[in-house]
A and B are shown apart, each in its own frame.
Chain A
Amino acid sequence: MGGATLTVGSSSPEVSLENILHHPKGRDLLTCIQCGLCAGTCPYGEVMAYPPRRIIAMLRAGMMERVLASESLLACVACYSCMAKCPRNIQLTEVLLPLVKEQVFLNLSQLPAELHKALDNTLRYGNPMAESPRKRAAWIKTVDVPVRILAEDPRPVDVLWFVECQNSYHPRGQDISRATAKLFHVLGIDFAILGNEEKCAGECARLLGVTGLFETLMDYNMAIFSKYHFKRIVTSGAHAYDAFTHQYAAAGFTYAAEHTTPFFAAYLEQLKPHLTHKLPYAVTYHDSCCLGRHNGFYEQPRSLLRAIPGVKLLEMPHNRINAICCGGGGGGMWLDTYYKAKGYERLSERRVKEAVATGADVIAVSCPYEISRFEDALKVLGYEKKMIVRDVVELLSEAMEV
């Protein structure tokens, strides 16, 4: 579809590709020095026809139609590599890329089927998996410790634990939720969940440029939050953490928001006496994009892991700011078939090869997408006997078992 036009997609067109160069949020684009660090560090750089550098050049030259007619932006997994490395600190992943992706989607004749389904499901059921919203809290029946649901007991609470979609419905996600509940309990934290009232925080939709969906979810979640009294939100979802910390302020979000990993790291001294069971694992920690590059939480998960008796920490060559994304962000979670058809290597497989090469037994993660993506990659590459995937909280919980 040549001659792709800028259509009004966002329902709050405060910033759009038409005005971005003059808008405070986008003026920094004018400071781009075209160095190409973004293109060089992009994990899909070799297939990205329009990395941020070229997008900015085209934008400044008024030639955006070519960018919008290209499908290569679909390969962007919103890993924040370009933004983290940009010497001008331009808000690439945060602001520019979602705006461009929004227009790319509007100009596509057909959305890849799996992505289309995931977006429709998120709008309709509050999760991308087409699971019934009324079963979102079903997992709490399988956990040994009491988990309060605010709708049933709306008394004020210290921590509102925003569980997140994968951790509510996916069997491996539920393992993480059980471990998390156990940790809250052991630390004596006063916590509660929204249960069936919880819906996706919408960050992946926002990164994809599907702003209508993001705003619908944000409005919904803010309305639910306002029903209850809590001091802080702690979430297991790395993307949800980003949504609350960086985006929801626009809707009036003023609560303190934390992600479970740094949250538990702050309680390390109280946790240590409970970590009695030795785990003789060589563990390599995978820095998730949201927690790591975007928010700088590199040492907290490592300090938790080092506190587990028996654990030996090994670093992958690409660690901390250089970590290789698992490929699930920015819609990548639902574009596997699309990438496969194009012949792209799966980022999760690339990362797993690096993890296995360290000689570690365990790859430790802290973002819900990573568990299923890395377990899948291990199976495909035939490494499932060599290495297992565990969330940091799972390892902590395992170290607490008698």
Chain B
Amino acid sequence: MNIVVVLRMVPDVVEELEIAPDGKSLDLEFGRMVLSESDDHALEQALLIKERMGGTVTAVALEAPEVDEVLFSALAKGADRTLKITGPKEGVTTREAAHIIAQVIASEPGLRGADLVLTGTQAINDLDGLMAPLLSQELSLPFLGIVTGLLPDFATRIASATKEYPRGVRAEFEVALPAVFGIQAAEKPPRYVPVAKVRAVMKSQKIDCVPSAGMEEPGLSLLQVLEITKPEPSAHSEILEGSVQQAACALCGILAERGLL
């Protein structure tokens, strides 16, 4: 099974998010980037499939702060190759990123014949679209999202994929390969790789690079962010006073208003 995993860096929300002076974007000078959580699962799922069936795993990412660490870590975990796409403009949207990445997948030898293209099901900044369906559209491949189990069969060229539905219900789908999958969770939690191993990989292996020149198409997003703000945090709860019955009723109202009832 030849697997391509698309990895994306997103702002790390553990840090306080700061808004840039233009009021429309994040100030990433002090903010940090982290691998999107479900992309980490996509990588783990790819490695699990490789361990079971053989094949290759190639991790692809756009150039971004701290992406080198992530790609070296992928190599230390068992990926065969990592590819960094250099030169995209800063603040590229999901749709713009998908357009560039799809072209690299379609043109780069070794990626062209991929049986599986895996990426996380959703990232916290997917304002203008989700990566998996966008890639499927660009590559003219079938797509299935919110996948928590993936069993490809090399002989039949069909993958059995499990998709998550509300309230713990799951569904089993059959998907003809090659296909794109949005991974929600790998069958096992992303594996641990010791720092020492990553440091050793940094010395002995390298990340391949391919320039994005000519592949960018600005304005694909069709969106314009007018303003971003941080919601006002409250230091303390709003206490629902009154008798137990009154408080319970008030709480019901609040839940109903939020569509939780």
Contact = CB atoms under 8 A, between A and B. Distances in A.
Interface string A115-156: 010011001110000111011000000000000000000000
A111 B195 contact: no
Contact of B194 (A113, A134, A212): A212
Given A125-B14, A132-B14, A134-B30, A11 B196 contact: yes
Nearest to A133: B15
B200 A11 contact: yes
A313 B15 CA distance: 44
A132 B195 contact: no
A51 to B, nearest CB: 25
B157 interface: no
A97 B194 CA distance: 17
Interface string A207-239: 000111101100000000000000000000000
A241 interface: no
Contacts of A123: 195
Contacts of B196: 8-11, 210-212, 215
A213 B192 contact: no
A135 B14 CA distance: 10
A83 interface: no
A105 interface: yes
A10 B195 CA distance: 9
A134 B189 contact: no
Contacts of A105: 192, 194
A106 interface: yes
Interface in B1-56: 14-16, 30, 34
Nearest to B30: A134
B196 to A, nearest CB: 3
A134 B15 contact: yes
B16 A134 contact: yes
A10 B199 CA distance: 10
B170 interface: no
A110 B187 CA distance: 13
Given A130-B14, A134-B16, A116 B192 contact: yes
Given A8-B200, A110-B188, A110-B189, A216 B15 contact: no
B195 A210 contact: yes
Nearest to A124: B34
B215 to A, nearest CB: 31
Contacts of B195: 123, 210, 212-213, 216
B206 interface: no
Contacts, number: 49
Contacts of A106: 194
Contacts of B89: none
A9 B34 CA distance: 25
A213 B199 CA distance: 10
A149 B243 CA distance: 49
Q: Which of B14, B196, B200 has the most CB of A within 10 A?
A: B196
How many chain B residues sit at the interface, stated as a range, is: 10 to 19
B33 to A, nearest CB: 11
A215 B196 CA distance: 9
A113 B189 contact: yes
Contacts of A8: 196, 200
Interface string B213-224: 000000000000
Interface in B182-228: 188-189, 191-192, 194-200
A212 B199 contact: yes
A232 B195 CA distance: 30
Contacts of B30: 134
B194 A9 contact: yes
B192 A119 contact: yes
Contacts of B199: 11, 212, 216
B139 to A, nearest CB: 33
Contacts of A119: 192
A208 to B, nearest CB: 10
A250 B8 CA distance: 38
Contacts of A116: 189, 192
Contacts of A110: 188-189, 191-192
Contacts of A130: 14
B14 A212 contact: no
Nearest to B13: A132
A124 B192 CA distance: 14
Given A11-B200, A212-B194, A212-B195, A132 B16 contact: yes
Interface string A293-318: 00000000000000000000000000
A213 B16 CA distance: 25
Interface string A252-284: 000000000000000000000000000000000
A110 B191 CA distance: 7
Contacts of A111: 192
A130 B32 CA distance: 13
Nearest to A216: B195
Contacts of A135: 16
Given A212-B195, A213-B194, A215-B196, 19 more contacts: A9-B196, A10-B196, A11-B199, A11-B200, A105-B194, A116-B189, A116-B192, A125-B14, A131-B14, A134-B30, A135-B16, A210-B194, A210-B195, A210-B196, A211-B196, A212-B194, A212-B196, A212-B199, A213-B195
Interface of B: 14-16, 30, 34, 188-189, 191-192, 194-200
Interface of A: 8-11, 105-106, 110-111, 113, 116, 119-120, 123-125, 130-132, 134-135, 210-213, 215-216
12 contacts: A10-B196, A110-B191, A113-B189, A116-B192, A132-B14, A132-B15, A132-B16, A212-B197, A212-B199, A213-B194, A215-B196, A216-B195
* Chain A to chain B: the 3 pairs with minimum beta-carbon distance, closest first: A212-B196, A212-B195, A111-B192
